[in-house]
Structure 1
Amino acid sequence: MSGVPITSSELANLWMTYQEKTMIMRIMEHFIEHADHEEKQLLQAHYDAAAKAIEYITGIFENEGAVIPIGFTESDVNKGAPKLFDFLYDIFYLNMMTKMEMSLFSLYCGMSYRKDINEFFINIAAEAQTMNYKAAQHLLEKGVLVRPPFVSMPKEVHFVEDKKYRGGLNPFRETRSLNTIEVSLIHHAVETNLVGMQLMIGFAQVAENKEVQDYLVKGMKLSKKIEMELGDFLRQSFIEPPATHAGKATTSKISPFSDKIMMYNTGLLTSFGLGSNALGGAFSLRNDLPAKMSLLSKDIFSFAQEGGKLMIKNGWMEEPPQIEDRNQLTK
């Protein structure tokens, strides 16, 4: 173990990873309990990797004299509860969450300077990439994951010569078809929100707290709104948005999870949605797309703010490590 003290960013990223990985372990425990053999192997592999990451972070904190976070424990999962999600949703969830982990842990790599911590984030980012690949391949083999549309390969290089290329907001002008960058970003957003919508449906029907239930229903409706409004851009270019018959919530009313963990999971995905929307707006060259994504981001931000207040109200928001308040020295 390095004798170099950890920085504020390394502490923050390790703390956030502890929260996320303990959550993943609890969710995986329910999925593993009900999974078929083939899916169980994938889920167990991700569970084992998460447990190993938690063990490493715990060792770092103990060595640095830092308190171990609470995160999510066995009290946040109700073992023996009926299956909350149906055919292959567990692998859709794994595919979605490892996409998020790839982004987060790659970012944390660039924010870590101590050799052992940097290597830790490199390793778990690689693990997330591998697991995402395996989950996607499994869904493709089962015929339930919809690929983005195939296109003809370009034969010539072209440069944009007309300002109309960036058009889209003027209803009296013809709008060009989407380019492949725009299609890829929209497809990703629609695909993610379809999985997220089913998660909200399942969570909402088993939530014990009425305010939490109402909030999760809002999340379900917001996911549907995003899927419909972004899907319309694809339809206007004669492209069908992704959809699948698999990965739905069951009708169970018995919760396998605490309201606390369901709210945290929702908040994590909401934050990821904000980042994805910002990325989509930044790389879209048709000006109606950033405009639409900005409006949706406002809705997502409001939803996130409401969720944060609800978690604080119920005492579910664990406080991140705090910088010392130097202002106290002047009083």
Structure 2
Amino acid sequence: MEKLKLTSSEIGSLWGEYVNGTATDVVIKYMYSIIEDEAIKATFNDAIQTFEKQKQQIKTFMENEGFPVPIGFNETDLYLGKQRLFTDAFCLNYLHVITLHGLLGHITAFSISVRKDLRDFYDSCDHDAKKMYHQTIELLLENGLFQRDPLYYADEHPQFISSKDFKDGYFGKVRTLAATEIISISFNLKKNILTKTLCIAFSQIAESKEVRKFLMDSEKTADGQIKALAKIMQADNLPVPKSLETEVSISTDSPFSDRLLMYHIGFLFQAAQNYHGTGLASSMRTDLVTTYESIILQNLMVTKNWFDIMVKNKWLEQPPLAPNRAEIAKQK
């Protein structure tokens, strides 16, 4: 039987995994160089070795199909030996959140893969990500760095919704948050806190004024979103995940290229749209719906500005495109 060619979706997933993976790999290699805690450092070494294996497999897939391997990010975007920018605690939180991104990315890629060798590849990637998730959770718990979501207390019996007021978030008797709504609120808060902290750190070290302004504006956007979601939690006397700003040093010595700084923040804002969309879909209170709609629109503006800067500086790689039949016909 003739071996199936990779589909456009399969090539697209490989391309995205490579570019996004190399971007985070550079950050993880820098963090590995500054981490002092031996257990955390060993976990980062595992992450580096795991991605190196996956990167080589992705390259093989693309080369065998005749597609050019993306440039992505590499040693030219990393300047080792610079002043320490992050604490060990922040590095571990970063790896944990990036692992969560990887889990979602791998399962999405797996779900659109048809060829068995590609399904097997993403199956192994998913296994590796789950292993890393366990490692980061255990280390966060051991070091007292993991803040669990709020605890709820059980009703005596299952309940049914008995009033249309259940959806009311502005008028009348506003109900407390449902456990199904907390999932996305808490998750989005934690991710926005990490994004805000990276924006603060990156704005300290960026060389370009244009990049610094983008990062400072993005930090304000992330901060506003954190406050909007935190306000909803606090109205029910529920704890909000703690901030991470104090885990960033005052160094202005950049270990990364401006291109990497820009790409990384753009990736986080774009990826967040998936999670905010999930939160919107699971919300049954009108104030939550409008909050998520506002956040999604804000992120669209951030990514538009990001795209303009990336294109202007020729920093954005182009993914594989569908054939332009009209242009092909003109060449005849």
In the other structure, the counterpart of 1:114 is 115
Aligned residue type for 2:287: D
Map Cα deviations across residues 124-145 of structure 1 (whole Å, 9 max, x no partner).
1221122122112211211122
> Structure 1 residue 247: deviation in Å?
6.5
CA contact (8 A) 2:197 2:245 kept: no
> Structure 1 residue 99: deviation in Å?
0.9
In the other structure, the counterpart of 2:163 is 162
CA contact (8 A) 2:77 2:256 kept: yes
In the other structure, the counterpart of 2:92 is 91
In the other structure, the counterpart of 1:33 is 33
Aligned residue type for 2:308: K
| C-alpha separation in 2, matches of 1:225 and 1:56 | 40
In the other structure, the counterpart of 2:247 is 248
Answering whether residue 58 of structure 2 is matched by residue 57 of structure 1, we say yes
Q: How large is the Cα RMSD of the aligned pairs?
A: 1.4
Aligned residue type for 2:286: N
> Structure 1 residue 309: deviation in Å?
0.9
**SS where residue 54 of structure 1 aligns?**
helix
**SS where residue 261 of structure 1 aligns?**
helix
Answering whether residue 167 of structure 2 is matched by residue 194 of structure 1, we say no
Range with bigger deviation, 216-225 or 150-159: 150-159
In the other structure, the counterpart of 2:313 is 314
Query: TM-score, normalization: structure 2?
Result: 0.95
> Structure 1 residue 226: deviation in Å?
0.9
Aligned residue type for 1:31: M
> Structure 1 residue 240: deviation in Å?
2.0
CA contact (8 A) 2:35 2:87 kept: no
**SS where residue 3 of structure 1 aligns?**
coil
Number of aligned residue pairs:
328
In the other structure, the counterpart of 2:144 is 143
Aligned residue type for 1:219: S
Range with bigger deviation, 305-314 or 137-146: 137-146
CA contact (8 A) 1:85 1:247 kept: no
**SS where residue 6 of structure 1 aligns?**
coil
CA contact (8 A) 2:35 2:88 kept: no
Aligned residue type for 2:238: I
**SS where residue 88 of structure 1 aligns?**
helix
In the other structure, the counterpart of 1:19 is 19
Label 1:244 to 1:226 Cα distance change in 2 as closer, same or farther (>3 A): closer
| C-alpha separation in 2, matches of 1:245 and 1:25 | 21
**SS where residue 66 of structure 1 aligns?**
coil
Answering whether residue 236 of structure 2 is matched by residue 237 of structure 1, we say yes
In the other structure, the counterpart of 1:219 is 218
CA contact (8 A) 1:144 1:245 kept: no
Aligned residue type for 2:22: T
Aligned residue type for 2:131: T
> Structure 1 residue 329: deviation in Å?
4.5
CA contact (8 A) 2:23 2:260 kept: yes
Map Cα deviations across residues 188-221 of structure 1 (whole Å, 9 max, x no partner).
1111111111111111100011110100111111
> Structure 1 residue 5: deviation in Å?
1.1
Answering whether residue 208 of structure 2 is matched by residue 209 of structure 1, we say yes
> Structure 1 residue 3: deviation in Å?
2.7
Map Cα deviations across residues 149-177 of structure 1 (whole Å, 9 max, x no partner).
1111233111111000011133xx12011
CA contact (8 A) 1:78 1:256 kept: yes
Query: TM-score, normalization: structure 1?
Result: 0.96
Gapped regions of structure 2 (runs ≥ 5):
none
Map Cα deviations across residues 33-65 of structure 1 (whole Å, 9 max, x no partner).
011211111111111111101100111122222
Range with bigger deviation, 230-239 or 80-89: 80-89
CA contact (8 A) 1:4 1:114 kept: yes
| C-alpha separation in 1, matches of 2:126 and 2:208 | 35
> Structure 1 residue 272: deviation in Å?
1.5
> Structure 1 residue 119: deviation in Å?
1.2
In the other structure, the counterpart of 2:322 is 323
Label 1:244 to 1:137 Cα distance change in 2 as closer, same or farther (>3 A): farther
> Structure 1 residue 245: deviation in Å?
6.4
CA contact (8 A) 2:31 2:91 kept: yes
Aligned residue type for 1:12: G
> Structure 1 residue 233: deviation in Å?
0.4
Fraction of identical pairs, as percent: 26
Aligned residue type for 2:145: V
In the other structure, the counterpart of 1:266 is 265
CA contact (8 A) 1:95 1:136 kept: yes
Aligned residue type for 1:78: Y
CA contact (8 A) 2:82 2:253 kept: yes
**SS where residue 73 of structure 2 aligns?**
coil
| C-alpha separation in 2, matches of 1:130 and 1:287 | 38
Map Cα deviations across residues 290-321 of structure 1 (whole Å, 9 max, x no partner).
11110111111100111011111111000001
